[in-house]
Amino acid sequence: MESPLFGEREKAVIRWAELVTWNEARHDDAAFAELSKHFDSSGIVELTTVAAFRGLMNRFMDSLQIELEGPEAQARGGRAVASREELHAYIEKLVNLV
C-alpha cells in the first residue's frame, strides 16, 4: 500500500485485517512482525478478533440476505447513527434469528 494517507501503523493494521479476512494471516510472518512493531500481543489479539468477527458477520448477513442497515442508512451511504439501546435491540434481534 503506497497511500500517503496512512502511516506505517495504519498500513500494518489494514494489511493484517486483509490477511485475516482472506484467512492468510498465519502464512505472513512479515505482516505479523510489522504489526508487532506497533502493538503488543493483547493489541494484536484484539485487532484479529475484530477483523475475524466483522468477516463472520458479513458472511452471516450475506448468506441470510439480511441488510445490515435499513433503507434510510443505505441512502446515506450505509452510515447509521444508533443509540446504545438501539444497538442492543439489534443484537438481540440477530441472536433470535439463529
pLDDT score of 97 more than 80: no
Cβ count near 74 (within 10 Å) = 13
| pLDDT tens string 20-58 | 999 999 999 999 999 999 999 999 999 999 999 988 888
pTM value > 0.85? no
Single-letter residue type at 11? K
User: ∠ CA(75), CA(79), CA(80), 5° rounding?
Assistant: 100
